[in-house]
Amino acid sequence: MSLDLEIQALLRSAEVQSINFVMRGIVVSGIGFGEVSNCFSTSPMRHRIRVTVREVLLPRDVEASYDPVHNKIHLRSATVLHNPLGRGAVVHECTHAQVDLRALGTTPIRSEEGAAFIAHAWYHLACGESVVSVAPGFPMAVEPIAIGIRNRVLAGGSQEVTANEINAVRRIVAEQYPNGHYRSDGIRGRRYSGP
């Protein structure tokens, strides 16, 4: 199976589809991941997210990254999706792709990274995995926050991440990421504004 179709299948999996929260305007949902999955294809299409295997474009200890300017996801290797660490990293980066597809204009780096780390942790939790056991280097203090958000949403509670949760995640992420903003302008002109 091609990498495009492997990523598409991951984004359409029950575990990824269960992710559903709103973090101060940043909507991360299974439906949104489904929309992002439609941007991966083995056939030419206008709104395609390109997949490249380019280890040299990635910092050490990073399995994947998303480039919102060129609408590309860079993978460390062609086998990145064959292990939990790689799949979690791709979910994290496809969270950035979902924000880009929603074309929010700009989002604070720490907020968007916080949302991506929550989605990343939620994915592992949905798989019955502890982030601690599968993702060395993951900011472990995010896991209990993700557990609280996930449990609340699965119990039918609010999808809104609370101000305390947002502040806690932003403080954790601040250890790795600078202040500033990411730019999101759609995937080659395509914009999604649904749930």
How does pLDDT run across 142-165, given as a tens digit for each residue? 999 999 999 999 999 999 999 999
Q: Is the pLDDT of residue 1 over 80?
A: no
- In the chain, the amino acid numbered 6 is E
Global confidence as pTM? 0.96
Spatial contact of 153 and 20, defined as CB atoms under 8 Å apart: yes
CA-nearest of 105, 92, 110 to 171 is 110
Across 59-73, average pLDDT: 94
User: What is the predicted pLDDT for the residue at 137?
Assistant: 85
User: What is the predicted pLDDT for the residue at 104?
Assistant: 87
User: What is the predicted pLDDT for the residue at 87?
Assistant: 98
Q: Percentage of residues in the chain with pLDDT exceeding 70? A: 99
Across 109-121, average pLDDT: 97
User: What is the predicted pLDDT for the residue at 186?
Assistant: 95
Instruction: Name which residue leads in pLDDT, 7 or 194.
Output: 7
User: What is the predicted pLDDT for the residue at 61?
Assistant: 87
Q: Give the integer Cα–Cα distance in Å for 111 and 90.
A: 18
Instruction: Name which residue leads in pLDDT, 61 or 120.
Output: 120
Q: Give the integer Cα–Cα distance in Å for 57 and 86.
A: 16
CA-nearest of 40, 189, 173, 156 to 113 is 173
- In the chain, the amino acid numbered 142 is V
Annotated domain spans of the chain: 3-178
DSSP code string of 114-150: HHHHHHHHHHHHHTT--HHHH-TTS-TTHHHHHHHHH
